[in-house]
Structure 1
Amino acid sequence: MSTQQKKSKYEIDMCNGSILDKLISFSIPLMLSGILQLLFNAVDIIVVGRFTGSEALAAVGSTTALINVFVNFFIGISLGSNVLAARFYAAGKDKEMSETVHTAITLALISGIVMGIVGVVSAKGALQLMDTPDNVLDLSTLYMRIYFVGMPFFMLYNYGAAILRAVGDTKRPLMFLIVSGATNVVLNLILVIRFHLGVAGVAIATVISQGISCVLVLRCLYYSEGSYQLRFSKLGMKARYVKQIFQVGVPAGIQSTIINFSNVLLQSSVNSFGSVAMAGYTAANNILGFLYVSVNSITQACMSFTSQNYGVRKFKRMDRILLECLGLTVTVSLIFGGGSYLFGSELMHIYTKSADVVACGTDIMLYTTVTYFLCGIMDLFPGALRGMGHSAVPMILSVVGTVGTRIVWIYWVFPQHRALDFLFISYPVSWILTIVMQVICFYFVRKRVHGKD
């Protein structure tokens, strides 16, 4: 099969014709995949919240930000694997493509084992540093340790899926997540309701479901006929591919890790209000996660479309892409975000029966989901900048704008007005300040790029 045939079968022509319908076609599979991955944690906290209690709910939820700090750096690096594999695949460089695949899978396996060991060993100490209350500390530690046992499965799936998406295959990773997600639901219900394993039950279910998705994606790569075929005898890391993967992926990983570190600081502030506030934040934050993946899929589309058009010097089309993405982001954010708040009480009742937790979570959502269109706009400009080859700039701006603002807010502003709702005003404030910086930067980069035309 020729490269052109492969492209016509799997890919979208991002450089010609209409834009909006192609953006939607590109975004929806990513959106659905992200939502399904979130369902792992969502089902955990729903089941444990309804059938074990609010302390168990708080225990599971209090680990989320900390787990993200541990894993998101390596998930960011998987973006480098995706970009490098896509580059070689499009160029028809089969040898380089195969070596990239085997380097990426080896990197995923090693990083998964390392993260598993680090997570198990440091779980309790890290949770104590976050001021996790004593009444949930042991449960949180247990959940986190079991979760990290499955880290090699988690890493292998994400890197394997990144390779499949690099060659235009978004359908099979989505199907694998449907299978593993359904397994997670069934196992949660059996282990928690039938065997009364509580927090341990939902953690075990998550590890098993991640193992299933890992096996499915590796099996898919193994039986592939193309240049991305996986052979375990060829596993190993070649320095030149590791270097190129890191050049693309490390800035994204650093940005994600530092932003999640600011969320850990926020979690510590929430913890100081007790287990009811922790449970409310857990549920509200999980709902926000679904909103994030929906909007982030548009950001990913913006980056890919901009990158291809930058490569063929269609600079005016890049402007149209950004405008279409802005309209799509604001529309999706307002519909999903506004809807989440309007039906906040009903959504919160999915997670918990406690009226106090529901009220607390709904209050938090006013400041996070309703204003989420600001976060969508904030992320779009870095997406466009990365598409033009400026990967370090959005990292710096995001860290300074988002993380810097929240640190200042948590340590200097919040102590003067100790109230839970005041704490979460830091979300829209940090988004607005970051937008201003990124728009200014984008203006100068765009001016320089158009000057080349």
Structure 2
Amino acid sequence: MALQKDMTTGSPGKIIFEFTLPVFIGNVFQQFYNMADTVIVGKFVGTGALAAVGSTGTIMFLILGFVMGMTAGFTVLTAQKFGAGDMKAMRQTVASATILSTLMSVLLTVVSMAFMKPLLRFMKTPEDIFQDAYVYIMIICAGIFAQMLYNLLSSILRALGNSKVPLYFLILAALLNIVLDLVFIIVCKMGTAGAAWATVTAQGISGVLCLVYIVKKVSVLHLKRDDFRFKSYLIWNQLRVGFPMALQYSITAIGSMMVQTSLNLLGSVQVAAFTAAGKVEQIANQAYVAMGTTMATYSAQNIGAGKVRRIHQGFRSVTMMGCVYSAVIGLLIAFFGKYMTYVFVSDNVNTIMQSVDIYLKCVVMFFVPLMIVNVYRNGIQGMGYGLMPMMAGVAELIGRGVVAVVAAGRKSYVGVCLASPAAWVLAGSLLLVMYFYIMKHDMKKFEQPVSE
């Protein structure tokens, strides 16, 4: 059971930090997939192509976020069974998650490719970048199975406390993606299509490597025919958590698509600036995503072991870490983030940099609410609550959507930049209320209330 980690014993703060760090590094390398596309496309194809790739970002998040949320949700039960020490039931959850993920891969691929062109039209994608955007996102959709394979297998490994092996394969895949970008875009002159093929190929290889590792090294995950027997209660429990987590990402993505639609009205230069600034923000935000991933596994294992008091201690530790990180990274980005513009573009640099600076200064002031959204949403989902965090996603959609609509009416770039912060504040506030309610409920259910 190499590199597996029981998170139900030991110092919560130390365990959370040690688990989060590899996930954070892995997430940053995963961002290099799209960043490599963005940098190489922007430098070697042009600002229009950069805007084309950027204009599909929210659609990619809608599709791939659904995949990530669903696979993470399916494996919450895996972590709970692992925390409870029930290895047979744990393998059964892996088998049913595999079947469900395969079926969803087929469905998502067919639906996304069938409705992509009308969706791009609905989002008012500028005509000068429409064809490049369409080609890019269709190839991404064709590779959904590759995304599903990696995300499912990495989620299973993390459910068992193993956050290092997925990191190793992501690093390798990110480096491969950069090489393929250079070959497909510069040598083969494939444009935005080359960037998409590089991303899909690299992601697929990372998934295959995870599978090979599990087969060769993780005997506890070696499935037998009996593990695949249909068990309705397992399917129901995984769907009960998996679909709300998937829909949570989708709801967030729908709000982001509303923002993108408002942004598209401002023209391709502003789209390019927003894209470049968004990449800088996303790298910083991967720490929050990693903290959320950690808390999902940590909460799931400990709720499986009935240790609610320990979950509460974990939330306190990770919140302190998140606040310190937010202050440090926020100051760095506020003062120096705009200079990353030079990495992404080679024309209209000064004009684009001004808009990049506006975006970054708008969002860094709200990094603490963003941390709360990621940590508390995932932690609550790890405890087995799927519906309540999804309601926070609805609040996020309302906050982002209302500000985006107002910004569109006024054609305000600053308004577009403030749409996501509004969503973080609204959703984060609601999640804190949910968390304290759940803690009070589960303390009574599993053990005596904790005294502060």
TM-score (norm 1): 0.89
Are the aligned partners of 2:117 and 2:134 in contact in 1 as well (CA < 8 Å)? Answer: yes
The reply on whether 1:165 has 2:155 as its aligned counterpart is: no
The reply on whether 1:186 has 2:179 as its aligned counterpart is: yes
Are the aligned partners of 2:75 and 2:155 in contact in 1 as well (CA < 8 Å)? Answer: yes
SS of residue matched to 2:220: coil
The reply on whether 1:359 has 2:354 as its aligned counterpart is: yes
Aligned with residue 242 of structure 1, among 230, 235, 239: 235
Q: Which amino acid aligns with 2:352?
A: V
Aligned with residue 403 of structure 1, among 397, 400, 403: 397
Corresponding residue number in structure 1 for 2:338: 345
Distance across 2 between alignment mates of 1:312 and 1:230: 24
Corresponding residue number in structure 2 for 1:10: 4
Aligned with residue 210 of structure 1, among 191, 194, 203: 203
Q: Which amino acid aligns with 2:403?
A: W
Taking every aligned residue pair, what percent have the same amino acid on both sides? 26
Aligned counterparts, 1:73-92, within 5 A? 73-91=66-84
Are the aligned partners of 2:59 and 2:257 in contact in 1 as well (CA < 8 Å)? Answer: yes
1:110 to partner: Cα distance:
3.0
Aligned with residue 275 of structure 1, among 243, 268, 279: 268
Which 5+ residue runs of structure 2 have no aligned equivalent? none
Q: Which amino acid aligns with 2:4?
A: Y
SS of residue matched to 1:11: coil
Corresponding residue number in structure 2 for 1:368: 363
Corresponding residue number in structure 2 for 1:102: 95
1:342 to partner: Cα distance:
1.7
The reply on whether 1:434 has 2:427 as its aligned counterpart is: yes
1:76 to partner: Cα distance:
1.3
SS of residue matched to 2:198: helix
Q: Which amino acid aligns with 2:31?
A: L
Distance across 2 between alignment mates of 1:296 and 1:262: 18
Moved more, 252-261 or 78-87: 78-87
SS of residue matched to 1:360: helix
Aligned with residue 389 of structure 2, among 394, 397, 407: 394
Deviations 1:348-367 (A, max 9, x none): 21111232222212211111
1:317 to partner: Cα distance:
4.3
Distance across 1 between alignment mates of 2:218 and 2:399: 50
The reply on whether 1:141 has 2:134 as its aligned counterpart is: yes
The reply on whether 1:21 has 2:14 as its aligned counterpart is: yes
Distance across 2 between alignment mates of 1:192 and 1:146: 15
Q: Closer, same or farther in 2 for the Cα pair 1:137/1:76, shift >3 Å?
A: same
Q: Which amino acid aligns with 1:392?
A: L
Distance across 2 between alignment mates of 1:263 and 1:45: 19
Distance across 1 between alignment mates of 2:62 and 2:141: 13
Distance across 2 between alignment mates of 1:224 and 1:151: 26
Moved more, 25-34 or 101-110: 101-110
Distance across 2 between alignment mates of 1:317 and 1:34: 26
Are the aligned partners of 1:15 and 1:308 in contact in 2 as well (CA < 8 Å)? Answer: no
The reply on whether 1:61 has 2:54 as its aligned counterpart is: yes
Are the aligned partners of 1:44 and 1:188 in contact in 2 as well (CA < 8 Å)? Answer: yes
Superposition RMSD in Å:
2.6
Deviations 1:228-247 (A, max 9, x none): 12689997976543322212
Aligned with residue 170 of structure 2, among 167, 177, 189: 177
Deviations 1:401-433 (A, max 9, x none): x1112222223x335543101222233333223
Q: Closer, same or farther in 2 for the Cα pair 1:308/1:196, shift >3 Å?
A: closer
Are the aligned partners of 1:31 and 1:294 in contact in 2 as well (CA < 8 Å)? Answer: yes
1:329 to partner: Cα distance:
0.7
Distance across 2 between alignment mates of 1:88 and 1:232: 19
Q: Closer, same or farther in 2 for the Cα pair 1:126/1:306, shift >3 Å?
A: same
Q: Closer, same or farther in 2 for the Cα pair 1:220/1:231, shift >3 Å?
A: farther
Corresponding residue number in structure 2 for 1:35: 28
Are the aligned partners of 1:222 and 1:230 in contact in 2 as well (CA < 8 Å)? Answer: no
Distance across 2 between alignment mates of 1:181 and 1:415: 36
SS of residue matched to 1:285: helix
1:184 to partner: Cα distance:
0.7
Aligned counterparts, 1:281-430, within 5 A? 281-310=274-303, 315-353=308-346, 354-355=348-349, 356-400=351-395, 402-411=396-405, 413-415=406-408, 417-430=410-423
Distance across 1 between alignment mates of 2:306 and 2:223: 35
TM-score (norm 2): 0.89
1:29 to partner: Cα distance:
1.4
Distance across 1 between alignment mates of 2:88 and 2:437: 39
